[in-house]
Every structure is written in structure tokens, then in C-alpha cells.
């Protein structure tokens, strides 16, 4: 058995207070977001939101990958190419406009689902140096907290600060759009 020090109790209390504050913010409809650097030309972002739907209802909609074009405005195409026993292959196309430049990105992903808990997206090929995403679902009151983490490095050299800023601005709006579409069902 490990002995706890007073600082362990303090750290635990501070973590508990932070968790309660974050949970309260999520239940009020806020999107919590954290960005970080990923590579010199990439970024990473994690966003969490509360969805007033049961986890099973949320899961049913989230695993309908062609429907993702309704969740993410920049996504113009989302198609399941292959179904295997333990995974799926997904093809997606997105179009993004930066200032006066319009860029189209294509990506092929391996998707692994952990039933009603997590969806992992692994990069196979496309307009990225690397890409990975992780979507987690967690029960909260009568709804679900969805946490979506993305790490990406585009194939065109753009300083990571710009990638992080774009992710920081786009993902909360995308999550709000996702919540709105899913709750209309």
C-alpha cells in the first residue's frame, strides 16, 4: 500500500474541483478545447461537448460515416469503402478556404470501433504527412460527453501555429454543428 502525502490530497482535490467545473461547463453547452503542437507543420486539438442523447443513440449516429458531411461543414464526401470484421476503411474529402486559397484534402482511414465507447481513426494515405483521431463517448447524467482528439500534419508546409489556430477555431464550430444535427434526429 502506498502512503499518501498531504500534497497528494491537495492534487486530488484540485483535480476533482477542475473536473466538476469542466463538467458543469459542458452541461451548460460549452465546448471545451485544448490545442497543442504536434509537429513543426502540424497541430493537435481535443474538444469535448455534452450531447443530450444516450450513448447508444449517439453511437448509432456517429458510426453512420456518410452522414459526417452534415456534422462537419468542410467535409464534402464521406464514404465507407470496406467493412471488415474488426475495422472499416473510410474515404473522406474536405475543402477548406484559407484567406484567398481553397484547398481540397483527401484521406483514407482505417476505422476501429470499440462498441459504444470509442472510435479510432488511423491514417492510411492522403494529403497529410500524418493524421489520427480518437472519438470517445462517456455517460453523463442523461446524456453523453463526446471527446474528439485530432492530430494532423498536412502535406503542404504551413507553420504549426496556423494549423493549431485553424483547429482551435474550426473544431468547436464543428462540434456545435454535430450536436445540432444529432439532436434534430
Domains of the chain: 46-184 (3.30.530.20)
Distance CA 20, CA 178 (A): 24
Each residue's pLDDT tens digit, 87-115: 999 999 998 776 666 778 899 999 999 99
pTM: 0.84
Please give the pLDDT value at position 4.
43
- Report the Cα–Cα distance between both ends of the chain, in Å, rounded: 50
pLDDT at res. 5: 45
- Look at residue 16 in the predicted model and tell me its pLDDT: 66
Q: Which stretches of the chain score pLDDT less than 70?
A: 1-18, 37, 39-41, 98-101, 157-164, 185
Write down the pLDDT at residue 44. Answer: 84
By C-alpha distance, which of 68, 95, 72 is closest to 80?
Answer: 68
DSSP state of 67: G
Closest C-alpha among 171, 131, 172 to residue 154 = 131
Element (H, E) at 97: strand 88-98
Amino acid at each position: 500500500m502506498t502512503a499518501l502525502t498531504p500534497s497528494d490530497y491537495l492534487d486530488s482535490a484540485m483535480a476533482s474541483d477542475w473536473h466538476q467545473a469542466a463538467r458543469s461547463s459542458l452541461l451548460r453547452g460549452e465546448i471545451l478545447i485544448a490545442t497543442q503542437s504536434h509537429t513543426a507543420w502540424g497541430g493537435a486539438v481535443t474538444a469535448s461537448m455534452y450531447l443530450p442523447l444516450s450513448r447508444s443513440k449517439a453511437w448509432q449516429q456517429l458510426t453512420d460515416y456518410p452522414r459526417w458531411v452534415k456534422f462537419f461543414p468542410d467535409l464534402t464526401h464521406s464514404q465507407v469503402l470496406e467493412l471488415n470484421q474488426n475495422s472499416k476503411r473510410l474515404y473522406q474529402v474536405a475543402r477548406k478556404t484559407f484567406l484567398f486559397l481553397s484547398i481540397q484534402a483527401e484521406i483514407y482511414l482505417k476505422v476501429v470501433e470499440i462498441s459504444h465507447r470509442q472510435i479510432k481513426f488511423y491514417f492510411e494515405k492522403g494529403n497529410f504527412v500524418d493524421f489520427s483521431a480518437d472519438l470517445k463517448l462517456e455517460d453523463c447524467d442523461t446524456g453523453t460527453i463526446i471527446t474528439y482528439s485530432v492530430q494532423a500534419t498536412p502535406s503542404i508546409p504551413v507553420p504549426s501555429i496556423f494549423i493549431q489556430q485553424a483547429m482551435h477555431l474550426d473544431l468547436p464550430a464543428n462540434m456545435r454543428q454535430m450536436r445540432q444535427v444529432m439532436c434534430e434526429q
